[in-house]
Amino acid sequence: MINPKDLQIIAHLREDARQSLVDIGKKTLMPTSTVFDKIQRYKGGLVKKYTALVDFPRLGYGFRVWMVLSTRDKDRLKEFLTSHGNVNSLYKINSGFDFLIDCVFKNWDEVYNFQEKLKEFEIKEKIVLDILEEVKREEFLVEK
């Protein structure tokens, strides 16, 4: 189990991973050197990656689609999905499906072409969800 001080640091990193160690130290009432040491220990384990949350529509990628798929050819489909540029996130799931895919596209033609390409992988069942609006994202463990 993670201790409360570590959880505080993680919450501050989730809120803004670019804030200074000094600021995190002040907010958590810990010395900067302690915050630094703890964050170093998190890397590659507890903290998998530091990244930016991007507003995809402002970059010209206004079509976000989530799909759940089941297939007879899991390994080949997984290889295709992990290497496809429009796949933002990929999850292995259960409940009769194999994968949950978060995809980002510029237009409906790209969505259509992606779905056409999926036909090569013996898809047994597919559910497509068009994301209309991002209401909340990456807020778990963020200090409010």
Specify the pLDDT at position 58: 95
Residue 4 belongs to what H/E stretch? helix 4-15
**Could you tell me if residue 96 is inside a domain?**
yes
* Whether pTM exceeds 0.85: no
More confident residue, 81 or 43: 81
Residues 84 and 123 grouped into a single domain: yes
| Overall domain count for the chain | 2
Residues 71 and 124 grouped into a single domain: yes
**Could you tell me if residue 49 is inside a domain?**
no
Say if residues 128 and 115 touch (Cβ distance below 8 Å): yes
Specify the pLDDT at position 144: 64
Q: Measuring CA to CA, which residue among 100, 58, 60, 57 is closest to residue 78?
A: 100
Range of the domain at 93: 56-131
Residues 93 and 31 grouped into a single domain: no
Q: For residue 21, give every residue at least 6 positions away whose Cβ sits within 8 Å of its Cβ, in sequence order, or none.
A: 32, 35, 36, 39
**Could you tell me if residue 51 is inside a domain?**
no
Say if residues 10 and 42 touch (Cβ distance below 8 Å): yes
